[in-house]
Amino acid sequence: MQQLLVALSAAAGLIAGQVAPTPAEAPATAAQMDAHRAELIAKCPVMRDVPDAEASRLPIHVTRWGNSGPRVVIIHGGVQGGVGGGPTTFAKQQPWGSDGWRVEAVDRPGFGASPSRGVDDMTRDSVWIADMLDGGANLIGHSWGGAEALLAAARRPAAVRSLVLVEPALTAIVAADPALRNNPAVIAGDKMRARLLMTAETPGQYGASFARMLGSAPAGGAETNVAINAMTSDPALATRTGCALLEGRIPAPAVFQNAIATIAEAHVPVLIVTGGWNPGFDAAADVLARLMHGRHVIVRSPNHFVQLSNSADFNREVAAFMRDADRDRR
């Protein structure tokens, strides 16, 4: 399903514990990685950034499910490069709309019906996401969108009824924590990220590499396999996504650390959901939950798209958490 192609970049170099380099491989230095990234970006088409004043006038498309009950704002993952957005990445959460929730599935800029504002930028997106929290809302973010949801929640913690992060793209951000510093899965992930970058000769190769590392197809469906096959067999699509991955803007670790501290100090109820298929994600989620005084739960999934692959358990677990948190927050 092409809607998942954009989410293939959800790990954006932040997946840990999947592929370890061979002993013969020498680790790349930060300078070497930066230089090679610049070489790959030079092969990408120039993407115009829309100025803030102009961008603020561009619409953010929202698909709504349900007319009554507590609000749920959903931020999908991925970077620009294919077709997708909130209503497709979270298609199996639509039943919440008839179960007492007002769900708002957002298309981030450059996805679905929301026009692009330029290169994917977590900080820039966090501003309009925070604006959506007027009146209070439960906030859910997946992968890249999980990192953005964290930043947005830290801007307006009093407006967040609960914060649910689904395999958020924050593994590298918390990798320096003592609990992860010597974790074999995280170390392997660091080496794997360097290898994928340094061995890619084109942005397309870089994009396709990530398509192969998000797990297997869910039981009873083939969404992930179809997406991976399309990514690896369509050079143009792989190039677009590879360029978006390389150019995507991620704040410095200190920015996320401050956001994490803000959420903890504000006592925002936090749930981190992972699928149990990737030890790096699970280990990072434990740390994030501890730092934000939240809870980490594993909803068994064979891939990164927990909300699609195991929607029954995901919907039950997350809805129960939001219901309790929303009541307590009120």
The rounded mean pLDDT for the chain is 86
User: Any idea where the domains of the chain sit in the sequence?
Assistant: 2-13+53-329
pLDDT of residue 82: 59
Residue whose structure tokens are 């199996």: 92
Express each pLDDT in 267-295 by its tens digit.
Answer: 999 999 999 998 888 999 999 999 999 99
* Confidence band, pLDDT 50/70/90 cuts, at residue 76: very high
* Confidence band, pLDDT 50/70/90 cuts, at residue 215: low
Say which DSSP state 80 is in: S
The secondary structure of the chain in percent helix, strand, coil, rounded to multiples of 5, reads 50, 10, 40
* Confidence band, pLDDT 50/70/90 cuts, at residue 310: very high
Give the CATH number of domain 2-13+53-329.
Answer: 3.40.50.1820
CA–CA gap between residue 59 and residue 54 (Å, rounded): 11
pLDDT of residue 230: 62
* Confidence band, pLDDT 50/70/90 cuts, at residue 194: confident
Token code pair at residue 228: 């991976």
Tell me the pTM: 0.89
| pLDDT reading at 220 higher than 70 | no
Residue 46 three-state SS: coil
Express each pLDDT in 127-185 by its tens digit.
Answer: 999 999 999 999 999 999 999 999 999 999 999 999 999 999 998 788 778 888 888 88
| Pairing of the two strands 137-142 and 102-106 | unpaired
CA–CA gap between residue 325 and residue 266 (Å, rounded): 14
